[in-house]
Amino acid sequence: MVMARRFTAEEHARVTAAVAEAERGTDGEIVTIVTDWSDHYHDVSLYYAGAAMLAALGLFAFFPDLLDAKLALFTGGWGEAERHLQLALLVVVQALVFLGVRFGFEALPMRGVLIPGAVRGRRVRRRAVQFFKASAEKRTAARVGVLLYVSLAEHRAEIVADEAILAKVEEGVWGEAMVALVDKVRAGDPAGGMADAVTRIGAVLTTHFPKTATDQNELPDRLIEL
């Protein structure tokens, strides 16, 4: 996979500090994860490769002289190529087109624009839920863990909350956090966007789950970069 960017030590520190500060007034725990890609999209590359292979077949069907022109390189232009040679060349061309698109797709730095937005959204959400289950869900005594998950190359982010939070907070409440994140990411400052989003998540948690005397820091504050 082509890497989009890596966070610097300073950027890691900014997000980590924002998490620590956001948790000062709440029993809630915030986990932050950033990645370039949430999925390899092998299936999408197969769809494009299959379509390209069929397009090559259609091209030779509409312009059969192209096939004879290619075969003339082997026959020296003497006479019409035999049918089995035409079919063999067609199979070879289709295989090369299929393999070229299949593996070339993954090397494209901007291949995200070729992946439908709905597909990217579903894959990012699925991966965010997977990471939430592994890193935050039911990992706190009061079930008050929240995951902020950002996938840079796919231009998607998700906020996933634990069951106690869902019982009191509607998902729409996270809108301000997402807006703050997106604004900074678009400005080229993803770490700043994550820090601002964490601050707003912390404000929501402080309102519904204020700090108690028995609260402990149950989940790591550091930014996790995958």
Instruction: Indicate whether 127 and 200 sit together in one domain.
Output: yes
**Domain limits at 61?**
42-113
pLDDT value for 73: 54
Please give the Cα distance from 116 to 41 (Å, whole number). Answer: 11
**3-state SS, residue 221:** coil
Q: Is residue 3 in a domain?
A: no
**3-state SS, residue 17:** helix
Instruction: Indicate whether 31 and 58 sit together in one domain.
Output: no
Instruction: Indicate whether 100 and 138 sit together in one domain.
Output: no
For 84-110, what is the mean pLDDT?
Answer: 82
**CB 56 within 8 Å of CB 93:** yes
Q: Is residue 124 in a domain?
A: yes
Please give the Cα distance from 15 to 224 (Å, whole number). Answer: 10
Domain boundary among 54, 82, 113: 113
Instruction: Indicate whether 125 and 209 sit together in one domain.
Output: yes
Instruction: Indicate whether 98 and 194 sit together in one domain.
Output: no
Poorest-confidence range of 7-16, 113-122, 147-156? 113-122
Residue 69 pLDDT > 90: no
Per DSSP, the residues of 148-188 read: EEEETTTTEEEEEE-HHHHTT--GGGGHHHHHHHHHHHHTT
Q: Is residue 183 in a domain?
A: yes
At 32, give phi and psi (nearest 5°): -120, 130
Q: Is residue 56 in a domain?
A: yes
Instruction: Indicate whether 65 and 82 sit together in one domain.
Output: yes
Q: Is residue 4 in a domain?
A: no
pLDDT value for 11: 95
Instruction: Indicate whether 51 and 147 sit together in one domain.
Output: no
Poorest-confidence range of 47-51, 86-90, 182-186, 198-202? 86-90
Instruction: Indicate whether 122 and 134 sit together in one domain.
Output: yes
Which of 130-144, 186-200, 212-226 tops mean pLDDT?
186-200
**pTM of the complete model:** 0.79
Residue 217 pLDDT > 90: no
pLDDT value for 78: 43
pLDDT band at 79 (very low <50, low <70, confident <90, very high): very low
pLDDT value for 10: 95
Please give the Cα distance from 41 to 21 (Å, whole number). Answer: 37
For 157-174, what is the mean pLDDT?
Answer: 89
Q: Is residue 1 in a domain?
A: no
Q: Is residue 200 in a domain?
A: yes
Q: Which residue has the higher pLDDT, 149 or 153?
A: 149
Q: What is the mean pLDDT of the chain?
A: 85
Q: Is residue 2 in a domain?
A: no
Residue 164 pLDDT > 50: yes
Instruction: Indicate whether 24 and 123 sit together in one domain.
Output: yes
Q: How many CB atoms lie within 10 A of CB 29?
A: 26
Question: 69, 7, 77, 23: which is closest to 203 by C-alpha?
Answer: 23
**3-state SS, residue 145:** strand
Instruction: Indicate whether 206 and 136 sit together in one domain.
Output: yes
Instruction: Indicate whether 20 and 120 sit together in one domain.
Output: yes
Instruction: Indicate whether 90 and 52 sit together in one domain.
Output: yes
How many structural domains does the chain have?
2
CATH number of the domain to which 147 belongs: 3.10.310.50
pLDDT band at 182 (very low <50, low <70, confident <90, very high): very high
pLDDT value for 6: 81
